Amino acid sequence: MKRIQINSFIFEEIISSKQIEERVSEVARQINSEYQGKKPIFIPVLNGSFMFASNLIQQIDIPLEISFVKLKSYQGMESKGYIDEVSGLDVNITNRHVIIVEDIVESGLTTRYLMDKLSKYHPTSIQIATFLYKPQKENHPLKYICFSIKDEFVVGYGLDLDGYYRNLNSVYQLVK
């Protein structure tokens, strides 16, 4: 397996760029099929979901809207335990089908925060499309999951370590 060093940490590739490309295409096909005629609004959560959202949305062939929100819940390798909303929703989602696009669902903190907030605007439906999911930490019913992973720290494909390494085209897990 491919390994990289980041600062004094060693990371090992767990999901290759080819695996990512194939799985994102599968999820896009599923969304295309299930949302025919519904004109959903995609709400990517920045910064982490930008690569997944971009690749996913490019493969959606039905009419859609996009509106970004920027939330922050991590400091270094640890969750802060609360959400900082940096910029919020700027579009009307009342009676709309909403798909939240996440980089990773781990504790469920961000997901619950956003679902509670968006529900107040009375959308027709809210679903979550996440690139990564840690089921051992959060048992939240998610509609679209690209990959389930172990409860280890990861970087790459939008996920960062103190703002860096989002540009890696594969996902790397911290080696203990």
Which residue shows structure tokens 């389930």? 148
E-strand ranges in 88-137 read 97-105, 125-133
Q: How far apart are CA 69 and CA 113, in angstroms?
A: 12
Rounded (10°) CA dihedral 58, 42, 15, 82: 150
Question: What amino acid positions are annotated as catalytic residues?
Answer: 106
Tell which residue, 72, 67, 73, 55, has the closest CA to residue 98.
67
